[in-house]
Structures are given as C-alpha cells and as structure tokens.
Homo-oligomer: A and B are copies of this chain.
Amino acid sequence: MQRKRFNTMTCPIARSLEHVGEWWSMLILRDASAGLTRFDEFEQSLGIAPNMLSRRLSALVQAGMLEKRRYSERPPRDEYLLTERGRDFRGVLFALMAFGNRHFAPEGASVMLVDAASGAPAEPVLVDRHSGKPLVEPAFKVVPGPAATGRVHQRLARREAGRAS
C-alpha cells in the first residue's frame, strides 16, 4: 500500500512518526528495550509474520534506532541492538505505557514502572528539566522554533486565536 509520507513535514512529531509510526515498529522498540535482540525472539513475542518483521527491522536500522550485528557466521545470524537513539525512545514508550495504564487497562496494569530500590510504583509525569515544573498548559506553550515554516506559523497562530476567543 502506497501512502503519503510525513517526511516533507517539518513537525518533530511527524518526523518521529515517519520513522517509528508504522504498525509494529513501536512494539519492536518496546521489545528491544526489554532486552530482546534476535529475529525469532521478536517473532515469538509479537506473533508477527516474518516478512513483515523483516521489513520493520530494516526500517528501524535505517532510521538509526537499531543496529544490526552478526553474532554467528555459520550459520549466518544477525541480532538487533538498540542504538543510543533507540534507547532515547524509552521516554515515548514510558509515556505510552502510563497513558495505556490510565485509560485502557480496565482489569488493572499488566506492566508498570517501579522504583528499583523501594518497589514503589512510579507515576510518570513530564516536567521541564530546568525548572522541574510539570509541562502543562497554560504554564508552557508550543511556539514556532527557529526552523518553523509558514505552515507551522499558521497552525500555531490559529491556535492562539482560538484561545483568545
């Protein structure tokens, strides 16, 4: 299926989704963050068709999220390791986990984050690293950055107008 790509968009959310937004990709990153590295491990964990898994792994390698490393010459076998960029995606995965636990886990949490020392459940919240203040509106707002295009300026101006009304 041919679909419109997001990569002509300058928005960082669209750019991220261009690389990790395909069905399965984020679950592969979840499993990689959980320590899985080998094709058959991902296949078994996800119940995904091999040709699809193969395509998704290649795309994640190309996006610089995973690194392919040969671990056996005979037979030839590769494993897939998170790059630094791939590890940095954990913040998004944690945010998705917290959101899913809050909204789509009627039977209770199946996985959760805890303080490794005390075992106390953690409640993820996004804050500004400098001030420590929670990143909520209206204390914080989204504004055009130095590389903003006309379309971004328009979209955010529309928003300011909507607020004022």
Question: A residues touching B (Cβ–Cβ < 8 Å)?
Answer: 1, 3-4, 6, 10-19, 21-23, 26-27, 30-31, 34-36, 41, 45, 47-48, 64, 85, 88-105, 107-117, 120, 122-133, 135-149, 151-152, 155-156, 158-159, 162-163
Residues of chain B contacted by A96 (CB below 8 angstroms): 12-13, 16-17, 92
Among B31, B111, B114, B130, the residue within 8 A (CB) of A12 is B111
Contact yes or no, A110 B145, CB < 8 A? yes
The smallest beta-carbon distance between A126 and chain B, in angstroms, is: 5
Contact yes or no, A114 B141, CB < 8 A? yes
A101 to B100, CA, bound (A): 24
Among B1, B19, B115, B126, the residue within 8 A (CB) of A95 is B126
**What are 22 sample pairs from A and B whose C-beta atoms fall under 8 A apart?**
A6-B27, A10-B107, A11-B27, A12-B98, A12-B101, A13-B93, A14-B100, A16-B96, A16-B99, A18-B104, A31-B155, A34-B158, A35-B158, A45-B151, A88-B99, A89-B99, A110-B145, A110-B148, A111-B148, A111-B152, A117-B139, A122-B128
